[in-house]
Amino acid sequence: MTPSTTQQQAEVFRSLHTAGKPLVLVNAWDAVSARVIEEAGAPAIATTSAGIAWSLGHADGQLLPGEEMIAAVARIRRVVRGPLTVDLERGYGRSTAEVRELVARLLELGVVGLNIEDGVDRESGRLVSPKDICERIAALRDLAAAVNVRLFINARTDAYFAPQPEPKGRLDEAVARARMFADAGADGIFVPGMDRLEDISGLARAVDLPLNVYAGYRGVPALDALAAAGVRRVSLGCGPLQSALALLRRIAVEGLQEGRYDTMVRDQASVRDLNALFA
């Protein structure tokens, strides 16, 4: 992808956060899932870090080697036509310099957006200090400026996933971190785990950046309600792959244990249609 095309797609992707309705991202995990989603009408493609990890034989949680993640993104970027944003977890690097180097390679591929998160410490169960992610956001902002691409940095906090703080303090923690991320140069705020409209609207009012919520599980309000609460972006995350794998398990059980193929053939994409995705 040429630099001018990357710059154009970066502007298109940014504009999708200010359109009349929230940007819905049905996250992809490989080239064919990305093309299926794009053909369904998606204006942009987002990756799911968990989905890419599972598809390559790794557990979620930044256990996938960075080189494998880049290779997976390269395959997706090769076949999709619209803007591409990548879930970067904590950055796939031990230092800010390593994260910057990795993101430079993604920019060369034509990636125009990324998610980067604070995360939860596995031993203490507490949120990781925001210091590192703020440093990385600032460094990536500088990197994007140096290559003249308005990279959309979507900063995620896991305040609603961590056992601490207690539930009553999670909104305050999310707001405080979102403001720090904004000051560091983030373009959007992502807070998975929020499903109460009161909290969602409170965060949308408190932070002057597009708010992204996660809709990969039961209980998340419908899109119209989220839009009314101030949400500008909705991610399905690894939910589509979880659903697809549950379907695969049903197909396997039917074939292996019941001698039937009903589920498999009920709503099957044709070979012709799938080949046409890559014509």
Query: What span, in angstroms and rounded, lies between the C-alpha atoms of 137 and 153?
Result: 7
Q: Domain extents for the chain?
A: 3-239
Q: What pLDDT, on a 0 to 100 scale, did the predictor assign at position 150?
A: 97
pTM above 0.85, yes or no: yes
Q: What pLDDT, on a 0 to 100 scale, did the predictor assign at position 16?
A: 98
Q: What pLDDT, on a 0 to 100 scale, did the predictor assign at position 124?
A: 80
Q: What pLDDT, on a 0 to 100 scale, did the predictor assign at position 164?
A: 63
Q: What pLDDT, on a 0 to 100 scale, did the predictor assign at position 166?
A: 65
Instruction: Write out the DSSP string of 37-75.
Output: HHHTT-SSEEB-HHHHHHHTT--TTT-S-HHHHHHHHHH
Q: What pLDDT, on a 0 to 100 scale, did the predictor assign at position 167?
A: 65
Are 30 and 49 spatial neighbours (Cβ–Cβ below 8 Å)?
no
Give the architecture-level CATH label for domain 3-239: Alpha-Beta Barrel (3.20)
Q: What is the CA radius of gyration of the chain?
A: 19
- Output the CA angle 174-87-8, nearest 5 degrees: 105
Give every residue of the chain whose pLDDT is below 70, as ranges.
3, 164-167
Q: What pLDDT, on a 0 to 100 scale, did the predictor assign at position 125?
A: 78
